Amino acid sequence: MGEWNRSTRESSLESLRPEIVGAINQHIELYNLGPILNDYLICVETRSTKKKKGLFSGGDGRPIIVTAITTPRWLVWVVEEKGVTALSVRLQDMVAVDYKDTPGYKLIPDSGIDITGTITGRIGVDDNQRTSSFIGLGEEPAAIKFKETLLRSVREAKLK
């Protein structure tokens, strides 16, 4: 499906690699977020590799790795691509949609979650703090569980 081969597996905070933990801790400290991961619900890691298409396929063959963590109040994710970047967004301030339910799916089939919200520390276009991001996921049971958990947690956060 789409331009990427994706594989998602469930993980735990305790099993994350040191560079991921370091990026998350630095992000939490920089933005003074407090103990936002103490009650995490699910943690997944997705490896995405660009499919080879023709002579000029693009990409260097190295996977992009995204670690995503959902709590009852936060989504935190770390992107490993030419460095390690941690991001976060409060669930009550975001909209999450299964990518297959978006208009873009018909143009570029893929699997994942589209989110729109105020990403911690980021300013979008024209000083609008709400930005959009795509978190690619595989189609394994861990990816389905992550999507369901995140979508349910966003709905519940908005009720509080």
Query: Which pLDDT tens digits describe the chain residue by residue (160 residues)?
Result: 678 899 999 999 999 999 999 999 999 999 999 999 999 999 999 999 988 765 555 556 789 999 999 999 999 999 999 899 999 999 999 999 999 999 989 898 999 999 999 888 765 545 556 788 999 999 999 999 999 999 999 999 988 7
Q: Thinking of the domain 4-159, which architecture would CATH place it in?
A: Roll (2.30)
CA gap 70, 97 in Å, rounded: 15
CA gap 66, 136 in Å, rounded: 8
- CA angle, 112 then 141 then 107, to 5°: 25
CA gap 109, 45 in Å, rounded: 20
Residue 104 half-sphere exposure toward CB, CA atoms < 13 A? 10
Are the CB atoms for 2 and 110 separated by under 8 Å?
yes
CA gap 121, 89 in Å, rounded: 10
Are the CB atoms for 8 and 137 separated by under 8 Å?
yes
CA gap 37, 67 in Å, rounded: 13
Of 146, 106, 147, 115, residue with least CA distance to 2: 106
